Chains A and B, each alone.
Chain A
Amino acid sequence: MRELDVVEITKAVKEMCIEANHFLSPDMKTALNKAEEREESPVGRKVLSQLKENLRIAEEEMIPICQDTGMAVVFLSVGQEVHLVGGNLTEAVNEGVRLGYTEGYLRKSVVRDPLIRENTGDNTPAVVHTEIVPGDRVDITLAPKGFGSENMSRVFMLKPAEGIEGVKAAVLTAVKDAGPNACPPMVVGVGIGGTFEKCAILAKKALTRPAGEHSDIPYVKELEEELLERINKTGIGPGGLGGRVTAMAVNILTFPTHIAGLPVAVNICCHVNRHVTRTL
């Protein structure tokens, strides 16, 4: 049994909050460059070049890429051979978020109660998804999620008879409804299968897969490519101001489901698709 002090998790989460909000991952930078090459609309190209300039300023001057530094979503894969010591795991993650958002000059965007709406003042709590896996390591993926795009996300409980065409229609509906609100060019995370909540978690997790990488399942890869092409025919474009690049990637994850159902979740992310992973 390997022992791991949760202080290490706090330290990693703190650093990851600051890193994710100032330095966009290389896959997303590549995706933005490709978008700029492909865009035909003059206004669209101008928006994309300003987004690249924005990334440069964020890194050089340590100003968050976006003022909405998100609600911290944390995926933890905890090896079953790891013995966590030194405190409570969830509290350790939240302490990391608290320190990262306070010391990193990140915006505190979390309210304690969804209806009373009093700001917690330190961006806690995080939304933590924990999975117990084989091995003696802990993988932490942190994905601060902004709500301009989160608000445009959807769950569709399709009928099995609606099949793959139903899935395509659901994704396109969500993207078109989102339009300029979700800060395009977007990344579209899709979860297919499982249950009501499982497909939503899959869609969120799909957003953390590097843009440009595809599913290992051949038909899913084809579906990702077809959906990306069709989304880019909608004309929404960068900033929603018209153009050829509405999305930079469509990432799909699937899971077994029930004989009676075909759940589909569409989690839309803006061009600031922040995700960092560390292994402890």
Chain B
Amino acid sequence: MDKYLKLPLTSEDIASLHAGDSVYLTGVIYTARDAAHKRMSEALSRGEALPMDIKGAAIYYMGPSPARPGRVIGSAGPTTASRMDKYAPALLDLGLQCMIGKGKRSDEVREAIVRNGAVYFAAIGGAGALLSKAIDASEVIAYDDLGTEAIRKLTVKDFPAIVVIDSTGRDLYKESLKEYCVE
């Protein structure tokens, strides 16, 4: 089922999302990948504020290729989410609402999703040219020195994603594997 949703999601939106739903997201998302997560984690351990208001935020695990002149962004597909598993539960407990990436998550992340009523979406890995078309604006807001790994504030319109882990903890990867495995 296709759902068109505005970010931040409401608690009703989140409750209505089920593993396997196809969604189109519109609003603000922040990019952060390995190096930015490490810095955010260090900032938190020093008692400092994060570069964005994490409550209700959506984080896209993505480091774009450089924009050609006159363009908003370069290629912009998801990176493997499991590398951020070490950092995600703490951010979810602070109010992080949506994560967008690709690939499996740990049990600790899944439990933190359920505990906080959050959601994990997958975008299509390796479709960075296509996904870049859904990004209307991009601005580096922190850690500029990290280059592609800097934190960017993106404005997206109808950004396509699929619910992989919903707020009840159902995991699409596990369910679909069972459906199509014929070994």
Chain B residues numbered 28-69 whose CB sits less than 8 Å from any CB in chain A: 35, 62-68
Partner of A106, one of B65, B147, B179: B65
Q: Which of B74, B129, B177 has the most CB of A within 10 A?
A: B129
Contact partners of B133 in chain A: CB under 8 A: 57
Q: Which of B64, B127, B147, B177 has the most CB of A within 10 A?
A: B127
Specify the chain B residue showing the minimal Cβ separation from A57. B129
Specify the chain A residue showing the minimal Cβ separation from B65. A107
A64 touching B128 in the complex, CB below 8 Å, given contacts A148-B79, A180-B173: yes
| CB of B122 within 8 Å of the partner chain | yes
Q: Nearest chain B CB to A165's CB is how many angstroms away?
A: 15
A241 touching B162 in the complex, CB below 8 Å, given contacts A107-B66, A151-B80: yes
Contact partners of A66 in chain B: CB under 8 A: 75, 77, 125-128
Specify the chain B residue showing the minimal Cβ separation from A146. B126
| CB of A255 within 8 Å of the partner chain | no
Specify the chain B residue showing the minimal Cβ separation from A51. B127
Specify the chain A residue showing the minimal Cβ separation from B181. A235
- Once the chains bind, are B65 and A148 in contact (CB under 8 Å)? no
- Once the chains bind, are B180 and A235 in contact (CB under 8 Å)? yes
A183 touching B128 in the complex, CB below 8 Å, given contacts A66-B75, A233-B183: no
Q: Nearest chain A CB to B61's CB is how many angstroms away?
A: 11
Q: A54–B130 Cα gap in the complex (Å)?
A: 5
- Chain B, 132-166, contact with A by CB distance < 8 Å: what is the 0/1 string? 11000000000000111100000000001010000
Q: A76–B123 Cα gap in the complex (Å)?
A: 36
Contact partners of B162 in chain A: CB under 8 A: 43, 239, 241
- Once the chains bind, are B75 and A117 in contact (CB under 8 Å)? no
Specify the chain B residue showing the minimal Cβ separation from A230. B183
| CB of B10 within 8 Å of the partner chain | no
Q: A105–B75 Cα gap in the complex (Å)?
A: 10
Q: A272–B75 Cα gap in the complex (Å)?
A: 13
Q: How large is the interface on A (under 10, 10 to 19, 20 to 34, 35 or more residues)?
A: 35 or more
- Once the chains bind, are A234 and B181 in contact (CB under 8 Å)? yes
| CB of A194 within 8 Å of the partner chain | no
- Once the chains bind, are B77 and A67 in contact (CB under 8 Å)? yes
| CB of B98 within 8 Å of the partner chain | no
- Once the chains bind, are A234 and B68 in contact (CB under 8 Å)? no
| CB of B23 within 8 Å of the partner chain | no
| CB of B104 within 8 Å of the partner chain | yes
| CB of A69 within 8 Å of the partner chain | yes
- Once the chains bind, are B75 and A63 in contact (CB under 8 Å)? yes
Q: A43–B19 Cα gap in the complex (Å)?
A: 13
Specify the chain B residue showing the minimal Cβ separation from A41. B180
Q: A107–B102 Cα gap in the complex (Å)?
A: 19
Specify the chain A residue showing the minimal Cβ separation from B38. A117
- Once the chains bind, are B178 and A67 in contact (CB under 8 Å)? no
| CB of A121 within 8 Å of the partner chain | yes
Specify the chain A residue showing the minimal Cβ separation from B179. A242
| CB of B103 within 8 Å of the partner chain | yes
Could you jot down 8 A-B contacts, CB within 8 Å?
A: A50-B160, A55-B129, A66-B127, A67-B76, A119-B147, A148-B126, A243-B176, A271-B126
Tell me the A residues contacting B by CB distance below 8 Å.
41, 43, 47, 50-51, 53-55, 57-58, 61-69, 105-109, 117, 119, 121, 146, 148, 151, 179-181, 183, 230, 233-237, 239-244, 270-272
